Amino acid sequence: MAKNHKQNSNFQITYFLAGACHTADGAYAMLCDLKEERESAIKNYAVSQLKEKAKKIRAEKMLDEDEATKLEGQADLLEIKNNLESGNVLYEAALAELHHIEKCIEAVQPLRKYKNYSDLEAHELAQENEWKLELIHRAENYMITSGTIPSDHFVTMRMHPAFKTEILPRIEEIQLQLSDPSKGKDFIMKEIKNFELPILEARKLEDK
């Protein structure tokens, strides 16, 4: 899918990355990783700009040398020009992506359970509940599509501290519901997230 020079499109971030998390704290942790990567790319752009300026100075001096050196200088200048054009496009895309990530962070921040902790502590504290809901989500998908849970996934679920108290009861509930054709599968597909991320402007227009 087209990303418009971004690492991830707004749609991917909203629905497939941070949006795939099950809790506001889990989404926040994901968004922090995405934000850090984009900020690093933006900072590196400034570094590359300085290197390109130095390279341009050297290339311009080569224009006064012999014919072969002059051609090399011209090639370097053309390369610098091309790099500048593509670099500007990538830089603007990184800024736009960072802006969307920050909008998403703003949306989940008030809903976070561990927002009063440092980011490092909060990311760790979010793991248990995020994993519990992810394991349940995967089990639901397995049972809907194939009717059974693979043994390796069941092993992983059993290692979670909430297996007996929350995960196993949910699996048993799903089994009972699936055994009753009149109830269908809608109950399984219900949204369990406690947050919403900003959607695309085009999507907003469609919903009007």
Q: What is the pLDDT of residues 66-83, one digit of tens each?
A: 999 999 989 989 998 998
| pLDDT of amino acid 202 | 42
| Enclosing domain of residue 167 | 119-183
Neighbours of 34 (CB within 10 A): 21
Q: Quick one: 78 and 93 in the same domain? A: yes
User: What was the pLDDT predicted at 206?
Assistant: 46
Do both 16 and 103 map to the same domain? yes
When the pLDDT of each residue in the chain is averaged and rounded to a whole number, the result is 88
Domain boundary among 112, 145, 175: 112
Q: Is residue 188 part of a domain?
A: no
Report the C-alpha gap between 180 and 201 in whole angstroms. Answer: 41
Neighbours of 88 (CB within 10 A): 12
pLDDT higher than threshold 70 for residue 192: no
Distance set, CA 169 to CA 30, 125, 131, 151, 176 (Å): 28, 23, 16, 18, 11
Instruction: State the pLDDT at residue 101.
Output: 96
Both tokens of 6, joined, read: 């971004």
Predicted pLDDT at 195: 82
Smallest CA-to-CA distance from 26 within 192, 150, 168, 204 is with 192
Q: Do 82 and 159 lie in a common domain?
A: no
58 to 24, 112, 176: CA distances (angstroms): 51, 52, 74
Which pLDDT band, with edges at 50, 70 and 90, does 191 fall under? low
Q: Verify that 88 and 177 share a domain, yes or no.
A: no
Q: Are residues 108 and 18 in the same domain?
A: yes
For the stretch 101-146, pLDDT in tens is 999 999 999 999 999 999 999 999 999 999 999 999 999 999 988 8
Give me the number of domains the chain comprises. Answer: 2
195 vs 19: which has the higher pLDDT: 19
Helix 119-145 and helix 168-178, axial crossing angle in degrees, nearest 10: 30
